[in-house]
Every structure is written in C-alpha cells, then in structure tokens.
Amino acid sequence: MKVLVLGNGGREHALAWRLAQGERVTQVFVAPGNGGTARDPLLKNVPITDVKALADFAVDQKIALTVVGPEAFLAAGVVDEFRARGLRIFGPTKAAAQLESSKAFAKEFMKRHGIPTAAYETFSDAQRAHAYVDAQGAPIVIKADGLAAGKGVVVAMTLAEAHEAIDWILADNKLGVVHNEGGARVVIEQFLEGEEASFIVLCDGRNVLPLATSQDHKRLLDGDHGPNTGGMGAYSPAPVVTPNVHAKVMHEIVMPTIQGMARDGTPFTGFLYAGLMIDAQGQPRTVEFNTRMGDPETQPIMMRLKSDLFEVLMQATDGTLEQVELQWDRRAALGVVMAASGYPLSPRKGDAITGLPEDAEDAMVFHAGTALQDDGQLVTSGGRVLCVTALGEAVRHAQQRAYQAAQSIQFDGKQYRQDIGYRAIKR
C-alpha cells in the first residue's frame, strides 16, 4: 500500500521513516520533503504543497493513507478537502485544528471546559496590552494568536522583554506570525513555575491512545537560556511524567479535551499534543495544545516505537483505537537539534553539510532544514537543520551516543545545545 506524508521537516522524516517499515507499505511519498527524504531509497519526494493538488495526487496514486505533519496544512483545511474526496487521512479538520492555530480559541475552550491552564487575557490593541503587562508585572508569557512555526511564544522575564514582544507581535510581526481572521492578537498569560513535558496522544474522535512521554528543550542555549525556538532537542521517556502525573493528565486534560471537542461539534481526530507545566506537587497544567506531533519530540518517539505505525493509523482512521496496544523499545531515546547560523530569527541558508554518519539501529540523523542540490551536495535550507537521534539504556547513554554522532557533522555556523536531557540525568 502507498502512504503520503505531508511536510518537509524532521518530524515528517521520522514519521515517513517509521511508516516505510510497515509490513504492507510498498511506497512512502513525502510532500514536499527535504534533502534527507530525497536521499532515502525507501522514500520519494513529491514537489506539491497545494491542498487540492495533493488530493489529486492521492487519487491518482491510489494512496491508502495520508498523514499530516505540520500545522500549516491543517489550518489550510487539508483534512476537510481529503475527506470530501473520500480519501483516508489522519489529522484534525480545520475547525478542530483551531486548538493550535488560535491561542485565543484554545484558552477560551479550556476555560469553558474546566481544563487546568494559566490565567490569561487576549488583546488586539497594543496600548491596552502594554497597560495590562505593567499592571501584572514580570515574569509573564506573551503568545501570538496564530501560527509562527514554534516561535510565537515569548517567556518575558522582565517588563522590557514583555513590551518588546507585544510590539513584535502586534506592530512589527518580527516573529512571522500567520495572523488569524480579525488581524493580529496577543494572548498574555500568567507565568507558570515547574517542569515542562510533552504529552502526545492519538485520537480517533472518541478513543485516545497515549504515545510515549517526552520532553522538549525550547530555549536556544544551554541551561535553558536565550530565545525560545521551535525546539533544540528532546528525549523520551520523560521521568517528570510519573504514573500519577500520567493518570492526572489523561483524566483532567486529555479526556475532557476530546469530550469537549465532541460536545462542541468538532470531534478531534489526529495527533493531540498537550504541552504541560508540572509543578512541584505533581499537578499538570496545559501550556498549549498542538494538533500534530511535536518536533523534535517525534524523532525520539519514533525511534522507540516498535509497533507498525501504518497499521496503528489505519485503526485510528477506522475509529477503532480501543483495539490497539502500542509496543515500545524499553531503551531511552534522545535527539539533538543542529541549527543554522542565525537561528531562530534569521537563519542562514546554503551552507554545505558534510560528515553525516551512516544510519544505525541505535542512531539516526533525521533531516529538517536541508536540501539536495542537483550536484548531490546537501545544504542547509532552514533554521533547524538536523536532529541527531540515538537510543541508549538510559537517557545518559542515549545522550552520549547522540552527541558522538553529532560531532562528525560539519556545516558553517552550526549551533547546538550541549545539555539535551540534563533534567532527566539530574533526576
């Protein structure tokens, strides 16, 4: 059977890689793909990004299953288009994807359904937003109401940073936000103390199947310093998600979300990602929702998944997830993101990449911002370039293996954190 994966990042490379190992899978297309998926003999890039053209391609090629990677396709209504054409696709509708595409929608939804989250206010007027921040004080969190490739959130530790973030979002749009209807809006939230974790589940509209837990590292620099990014590395499992915390998240956040979406007339299908803040007492609160797999969390999670992902997603699109039990590698997995010079605000493109290690059973290099030139040279083409991912008996061993693999890779201006996984190791 043929499978189509939509997207061009590290998440899509990892999903396509795992799907290609399916027993019944004969071909995996990636649209539009990247330099890494172009080099993989089991994958084939398709240079299409238009939603209707993708549906035409799926019909022509008799695609058995389409899997949506990034949020932009969801916000553009790709699931609605495919379903209208009778095509099997895993992801939420445009209406359900508002849980991610509109921070204001998500906060209002959580408030309405009693889902634990930070106190907030929403503004379209910069003057009123500035006045609110002055009244609240810092630290405080400033979020763009729209898609910004993971860079639309500023955790402002000072009032000056908060005011700058408001101007970036409402006036200058320096974060490159795709604003929702009605123009630029900003959500200003209470700062939450605790440890973050990524809790991702599969949903078929009614049933929920949790994936392995993971933890992302959002800040650019070691020790969680520097600007927020789309993610500089991740590991799985996340020790902060204890069995007790796991049960609370399912009972207080995930199930009320799925039930609330169904009650509101927008049943949720696809990957649901709850970004959590877990306080010292083990109480989880929702920082944000994403309506797709996280990047770079997908890479370590896919390294650990032993079940046939194609068969699992076929069950999900049949609405029979209650029949599925996932199998996981007992080892830990850790991924280190190697980013381009100038990332996150102005990443440089076109730098030659050399020294890539061979793929191994316990180590993979997933490509994100790479392109393959006509002469066969691999070059940087985005902010986050690669995610070097490895398995190990514990997080420390996976960390050592990943950094060992990363050291051989060269491109001008490369930057990566040296401490991915430090929280788990400290525990």
The pLDDT score that the predictor gives to residue 176 is 65
Give the Cα separation of 235 and 214 in Å (integer).
5
- pTM, two decimals, is 0.92
Q: Is 313 helix (H, G, I), strand (E, B) or coil?
A: helix
The pLDDT score that the predictor gives to residue 151 is 61
The pLDDT score that the predictor gives to residue 149 is 64
Which of these, 418, 11, 426, lies nearest to 224 by C-alpha position? 418
Give the Cα separation of 51 and 57 in Å (integer).
10
The pLDDT score that the predictor gives to residue 174 is 60
DSSP string covering 22-77, please?
A: -TT--EEEEEE--HHHHH-TTEEE-----HHHHHHHHHHTTEEEEEE-SHHHHHTT
The H or E element that residue 196 is part of is strand 195-204
DSSP state of 419: -
**Whether residue 139 has a cis bond before it, omega within 30° of 0:** yes
Using the structure block, give the residue that is written with the tokens 């996280």.
294
The pLDDT score that the predictor gives to residue 193 is 93
Segments of the chain scoring below 70 in pLDDT: 148-151, 173-177, 182
Cβ(187)–Cβ(143) under 8 Å?
A: yes
**Backbone torsion region of residue 418, taken as left when φ is above 0, otherwise alpha when ψ lies between -120 and 50, otherwise beta:** alpha
The pLDDT score that the predictor gives to residue 104 is 87
**Backbone torsion region of residue 258, taken as left when φ is above 0, otherwise alpha when ψ lies between -120 and 50, otherwise beta:** alpha
